[in-house]
């Protein structure tokens, strides 16, 4: 029996599972595979060098799935910021009606997106304060990203057991649970905590269709939950990375530098080097993002296998929970 939530209803998907935006991973191969599997696949806008390349990628994805898919637009501080407005315009013009936003000062972009009829915006945030601001901006769903998550964990360090309940207490719009989810037991747990679905990054990066080198996927399968490193706290840009040689070196410089100059770690944490890891499979060439859930990932399934397994596991977990309720007369 399918799981029906406000997320599946609003987005027209079969299973309440979203594949979060992933830089250098969220291409059409993965997004279409997740959508074909019944979840929500998401293209990552900034993996495309220009807005026109994003237009081509959206069109390419449409040749690979007839199911709904979304686009992630991540607004991060940069010396020369990308032309976010132009990326958003392409998203709108290409008829995309589901957008995942993330990052700083999303107000103007959310306003632009929400001016489009039927546009659904999911905004990802790591604190209740940011969730409340995004709610005010009129987003449709929040993606509550706990401290377990891959990538930008924020500066508050609140894991999902507390963060999701705090969101349930404070926000009035539906939210999905992000960070640390890999299976249907997690999905059932998230639903119990008040979410209407889960968002997964690392788990989808370790699937057959994810366009990253097999060595990266095998490193995830071998890893334990201790194999991530938090870097860049000193510059209030805390990021959870896979614990490889470069991440450990960056952390060492961060904690021992007497100058505190970002320039000292900058060459180590460069996105360009991280991208080369995904292409070449040289795990230690640069830094790359992964969540603590790497410890719970034990295989490299197809997206269809994974999403269908998650659905079955969640249904079984919910049924198991139901059986815990016994009529008093039977006690
Ligand atoms: C390789 C990788 C790259 C990511 N890049 C982005 C990104 O560009 N924008 C974004 O909003 N989130 C990004 N994320 C975060 C995911 O969308 C998602 O929020 C996160 O992975 C959830 O935690 P999990 O990995 O425990 O599932 C990335 C995650 C991974 C693993």
Q: Band of the pLDDT at 327, cuts 50, 70, 90?
A: confident
Q: Relative to the CA of 292, which ligand 1 atom is closest? A: 26
Closest CA to 76 of 232, 260, 206, 244: 232
Tokens representing 161 are 């057991």
Q: Relative to the CA of 20, which ligand 1 atom is closest? A: 17
Other CB atoms within 10 Å distance of the CB of residue 261: 11
Angle between the N-to-C axes of helices 107-114 and 128-137, in degrees from 0 to 180, rounded to the nearest 10: 40
Q: Band of the pLDDT at 330, cuts 50, 70, 90?
A: low
Instruction: Give the pLDDT confidence of 269-291 residue by residue, as tens digits.
Output: 999 999 999 999 999 999 999 99
| Complete domains list, the chain, with CATH | 6-212 (3.20.20.70)
- Kind and range of the H or E run holding 87: helix 84-93
Ranges of H-type helices in the chain: 6-11, 28-36, 51-64, 84-93, 107-114, 128-137, 160-170, 184-192, 202-205, 214-222, 245-256, 271-280, 303-323
- In angstroms, rounded to a whole number, what is the distance separating the alpha carbons of residues 100 and 200? 13
Instruction: Give the pLDDT confidence of 178-204 residue by residue, as tens digits.
Output: 999 999 999 999 999 999 999 999 999
Cβ pair 26, 43 in contact under 8 A: yes
Q: Which residue has the tokens 């100058």?
A: 259
Cβ pair 2, 14 in contact under 8 A: yes
* CA 179 to ligand 1 centroid distance, Å: 9
Predicted pLDDT of residue 122: 98
Cβ pair 185, 3 in contact under 8 A: no
The SS3 call for residue 121 is strand
Does the beta carbon of 290 lie inside 6 Å of ligand 1?
A: yes
CA distances for 298 relative to 6, 41, 179, 182, 206, angstroms: 30, 22, 17, 10, 9
The DSSP call for residue 209 is T
Q: Which residue has the tokens 């530098």?
A: 257
pLDDT at 304 over 90: yes
Does the beta carbon of 48 lie inside 6 Å of ligand 1?
A: no
Does the beta carbon of 41 lie inside 6 Å of ligand 1?
A: no
Tokens representing 47 are 């993996």
Mean residue pLDDT of the chain comes to: 97
Tokens representing 79 are 């010396």
pTM: 0.97
- In angstroms, rounded to a whole number, what is the distance separating the alpha carbons of residues 260 and 58? 41
Which of 18, 21, 145, 159 to mutate to test ligand 1, by most ligand atoms within 8 A of the CB atom? 21
The DSSP call for residue 68 is -
* CA 112 to ligand 1 centroid distance, Å: 24
Instruction: Give the pLDDT confidence of 201-252 residue by residue, as tens digits.
Output: 999 999 999 999 999 999 999 999 999 999 999 999 999 999 999 999 999 9
Burial (CB count within 10 angstroms: exposed 0-12, middle 13-18, buried 19+), residue 270 = middle
- φ and ψ of 178, to 5 deg: -130, 140
């Amino acid at each position: 029996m399918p799981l029906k939530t406000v997320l599946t209803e609003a987005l027209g998907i079969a299973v309440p599972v979203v594949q979060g935006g992933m830089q250098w991973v969220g291409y059409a191969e993965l997004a279409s595979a997740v959508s074909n599997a019944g979840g929500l696949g998401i293209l990552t806008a900034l993996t495309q060098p220009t807005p026109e390349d994003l237009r081509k990628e959206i069109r390419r994805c449409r040749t690979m799935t007839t199911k709904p898919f979304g686009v992630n637009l991540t607004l991060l501080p940069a010396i020369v910021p990308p032309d976010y407005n132009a990326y958003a315009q392409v998203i709108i013009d290409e008829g995309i009606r589901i957008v995942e936003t993330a990052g700083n000062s999303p107000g103007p972009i959310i306003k632009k997106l929400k001016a489009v009829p039927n546009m659904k915006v999911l905004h990802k945030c790591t604190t209740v304060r940011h969730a409340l601001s995004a709610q005010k901006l009129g987003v449709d769903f929040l993606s509550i990203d706990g401290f377990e998550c891959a990538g930008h964990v924020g500066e508050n360090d609140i894991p999902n057991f507390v963060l999701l309940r705090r969101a349930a207490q404070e926000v009035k719009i539906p939210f999905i649970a992000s960070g640390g989810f890999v299976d249907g037991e997690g999905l059932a747990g998230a639903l119990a905590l008040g979410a209407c679905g889960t968002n997964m990054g690392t788990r989808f990066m370790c699937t057959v269709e994810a366009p990253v080198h097999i060595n990266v996927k095998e490193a995830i399968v071998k890893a334990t939950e201790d194999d991530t490193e938090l870097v860049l706290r000193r510059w209030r840009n805390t990021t959870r990375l896979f614990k490889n040689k470069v991440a450990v070196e960056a952390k060492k410089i961060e904690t021992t530098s007497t100058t505190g100059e970002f320039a000292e770690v900058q060459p180590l944490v460069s996105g360009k080097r991280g991208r080369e890891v995904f292409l070449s499979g040289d795990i230690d060439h640069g830094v790359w993002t992964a969540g603590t859930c790497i410890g719970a990932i034990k295989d490299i399934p197809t997206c269809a296998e994974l999403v269908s397994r998650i659905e079955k596991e969640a249904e079984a977990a919910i049924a198991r929970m139901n059986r815990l309720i016994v009529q008093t007369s039977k006690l």
